[in-house]
């Protein structure tokens, strides 16, 4: 019988999806010990945090190299914890650079390993799949095409549906949204979703901001900034002129639902925006070193999750030098001025949503963990 579960989720999205699993595990067994690496959401559901995801919020090859001492220290501490507390199951959530190395330690110690939210091996590091054989006891995937990829390599894999289907909800309609945030209901809404990491903000937000101001000057739109919960508005205002921009924190899904068009930093937010069938442009910009290394390794044509699930480009992508204010403003104006184009994209996004399965991924993951006992 499973009484102890160790979880490692190294990013904000892992905290979001992991919190649902913690909740479902605690619902089945309130006395269960759940500990490891997570965030505020997982803590609220009853998990004991050893490390917080905010301590690990760096991205890119250069940035990881710079933070290697922190990563090594965390690994040593978690190894001691693993041997001392002996969890029945280790649940790894995404974060493959660290989690796959830690899985080897757990395997040597005879711990059963469940991996939830597969490393994106279809995008890069496809060789990792072979390394997971005999290491991961059960792979629980959230994209339908991933199951076959793992089963071909002899890894037990199961599609549980996408966890965002459980949480990406908003009951605030356009009229209520505009009233709540003092927006002109006669104007269209351009949403900015610049991400949650400091590096993303520094690289991407200035270009988004300039693009949005140009669009507002041309079309008179309302500009709404959906600010991540990890950021502080006063800090942003210190570095950026946010005059005339409605800053909204803690209601990102309401923003996604009610925007006419959105500029979205590549990542989970593109899929979340897509679940509300909101047309968007995917934006990504990083250090040149990280970008050049990534170009050598990445094996997919598109980086936006909505495009990857669709199997084709249904929303435009602007990467690195193309992620500039001129291009972003131009594409936003094209979409906002073409109602038929907006309608076509919304229909394509509805198809993407249908391909992500049914709600209830967290419950399925919890059930599979309990079955490992």
Instruction: Say whether both 117 and 266 belong to one domain.
Output: no
Give residue-wise pLDDT tens across range 13-34. 889 899 999 999 999 999 999 9
Which CATH number fits the domain that encloses residue 301? Answer: 3.40.50.2000
In a domain, 169, yes or no: no
Give residue-wise pLDDT tens across range 85-100. 999 999 999 888 889 9
Give residue-wise pLDDT tens across range 295-324. 555 555 777 889 999 989 999 999 988 999
Instruction: Say whether both 315 and 213 belong to one domain.
Output: yes
19: buried, middle or exposed (CB in 10 Å: 19+, 13-18, 0-12)? Answer: buried
Query: What secondary structure does DSSP assign to 110-172, as a single string?
Result: T-EEEEES---TTTS-TTHHHHHTTT-SEEEESSTTHHHHHHTTT--EEE---THHHH-----
Give residue-wise pLDDT tens across range 227-247. 987 788 888 888 988 998 999
Please give the pLDDT value at position 291. 55
Instruction: Say whether both 65 and 97 belong to one domain.
Output: yes
In a domain, 167, yes or no: no
Instruction: Say whether both 226 and 109 belong to one domain.
Output: no
Instruction: Say whether both 148 and 203 belong to one domain.
Output: no
Rounded alpha-carbon distances, angstroms, from residue 348 to 145, 274, 344, 358:
18, 9, 6, 18
- List the domain range (segments joined by +) for residue 320: 174-354
This prediction has a pTM of 0.82
Q: Answer yes or no: is pLDDT of 61 > 50.
A: no
Q: Answer yes or no: is pLDDT of 62 > 60.
A: no
Instruction: Say whether both 366 and 345 belong to one domain.
Output: no
Instruction: Say whether both 217 and 133 belong to one domain.
Output: no
Domains held by the chain: number: 2
Instruction: Say whether both 136 and 187 belong to one domain.
Output: no
Mean pLDDT is highest, among 69-73, 120-124, 208-212, for 208-212
In a domain, 49, yes or no: yes
In a domain, 168, yes or no: no
In a domain, 300, yes or no: yes
Instruction: Say whether both 93 and 221 belong to one domain.
Output: no
In a domain, 197, yes or no: yes
């Amino acid at each position: 019988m499973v009484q102890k579960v160790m979880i490692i989720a190294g990013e904000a999205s892992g905290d979001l999806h992991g919190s649902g699993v913690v909740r479902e595990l605690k619902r089945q067994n309130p006395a269960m010990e759940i500990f490891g690496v997570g965030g505020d959401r997982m803590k609220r559901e009853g998990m004991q945090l050893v490390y917080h995801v905010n301590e690990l919020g760096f991205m890119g090859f250069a940035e990881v190299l710079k933070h290697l001492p922190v990563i090594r220290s965390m690994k040593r501490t978690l190894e001691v914890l693993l041997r001392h507390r002996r969890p029945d199951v280790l649940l790894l959530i995404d974060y493959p650079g660290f989690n796959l190395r830690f899985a080897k330690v757990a395997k040597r110690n005879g711990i059963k390993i469940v991996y939830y939210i597969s490393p994106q091996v279809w995008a890069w590091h496809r060789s990792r799949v072979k390394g997971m054989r005999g290491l991961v006891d059960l792979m629980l995937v959230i994209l339908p095409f991933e199951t076959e990829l793992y089963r071909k390599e002899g890894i037990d894999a199961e599609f549980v549906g996408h966890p965002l289907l459980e949480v990406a909800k908003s009951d605030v309609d356009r009229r209520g949204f505009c009233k709540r945030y003092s927006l002109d209901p006669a104007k269209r809404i351009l949403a900015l979703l610049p991400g949650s990491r400091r590096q993303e903000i520094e690289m991407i937000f200035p270009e988004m901001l300039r693009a949005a101001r140009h669009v507002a000057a041309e079309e008179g739109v309302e500009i709404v900034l959906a600010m991540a919960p990890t950021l502080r508005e006063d800090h942003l205002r210190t570095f950026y002129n946010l005059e005339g921009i409605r800053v909204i924190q803690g209601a990102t899904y309401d923003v996604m639902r009610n925007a006419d068009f959105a500029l979205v930093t590549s990542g989970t937010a593109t899929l979340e925006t897509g679940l509300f069938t909101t047309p968007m442009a995917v934006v990504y910009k990083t250090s040149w070193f990280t970008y050049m290394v990534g170009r050598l390794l990445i094996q997919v044509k598109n980086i936006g999750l909505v495009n990857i699930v669709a199997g084709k480009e249904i929303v435009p992508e602007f990467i690195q030098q193309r992620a500039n204010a001129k291009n972003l403003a131009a594409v936003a104006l094209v979409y906002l001025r073409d109602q038929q184009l907006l309608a076509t994209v919304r229909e394509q996004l509805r198809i993407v949503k249908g391909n992500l399965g049914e709600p209830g991924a967290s419950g399925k993951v919890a059930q599979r963990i309990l079955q490992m006992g």
